[in-house]
Amino acid sequence: MTRVDFYLLNDNAETGKNLAVCKLTHKAYALGHRIYILAPDSAQAQRLDHLLWTFNQGSFIPHGLSAELPDADIPVLIGYDEPPATHEDVLIQLTPQVPEFFSRFQRVAEVVNGGEEEKAQARERFRFYRDRGYALQTHKIPASDFVEA
């Protein structure tokens, strides 16, 4: 069964959330996982694509946009729609609603910033997962953990 982790940031800044996504991606990639980052739209997917190249000068994470590389066999894909079948390991979920395909992944990481609207949407997703019996973990992350080095 899918395990769901909520990463709660105490900051409302989009920059902190994007850096948190990059660091989670880096950690999962270093552990050998295949990751699909589900962005709410094309613009956010492109921002994350760019940031993954630049957020840490000492690391390299092979990645791309799923819209541009639908058949690519790379460990990290970023998109705003259903991922290809090759990605079933880790889903980093950034949309306001639970995606229909989440249960095909072994792990789901829900990254939530400190804004009231986003926290309210995250509570709804938490209830959705809990009511269906999914294993849930919550991690409170101080904004200082995601400042650029």
| Predicted confidence (pLDDT) per residue in 90-148, tens digit | 999 999 999 999 999 999 999 999 899 999 999 999 999 999 999 999 999 876 665 54
Interhelix angle 42-54/14-30, nearest 10 degrees = 60
CB atoms within 10 A of CB 141: 18
> So what's the pLDDT on residue 143?
61
Rounded to two decimals, the pTM is 0.93
> So what's the pLDDT on residue 149?
42
Rounded CA-CA distance 24/134 in Å is 21
Nearest to 111 by CA among 141, 134, 76, 81: 141
Residue 133 phi/psi, 5-degree rounding, is 85, 15
pLDDT score of 3 more than 60: yes
User: In the Cβ-directed half-sphere of 60, how many Cα atoms lie within 13 Å?
Assistant: 2
pLDDT tens per residue, range 45-69:
999 999 999 988 888 899 999 988 8
Q: Do residues 147 and 22 make contact, with C-beta atoms less than 8 angstroms apart?
A: no
Residue 38 phi/psi, 5-degree rounding, is -95, 105
Q: Domain 3-144: what homologous superfamily?
A: DNA polymerase III subunit chi (3.40.50.10110)
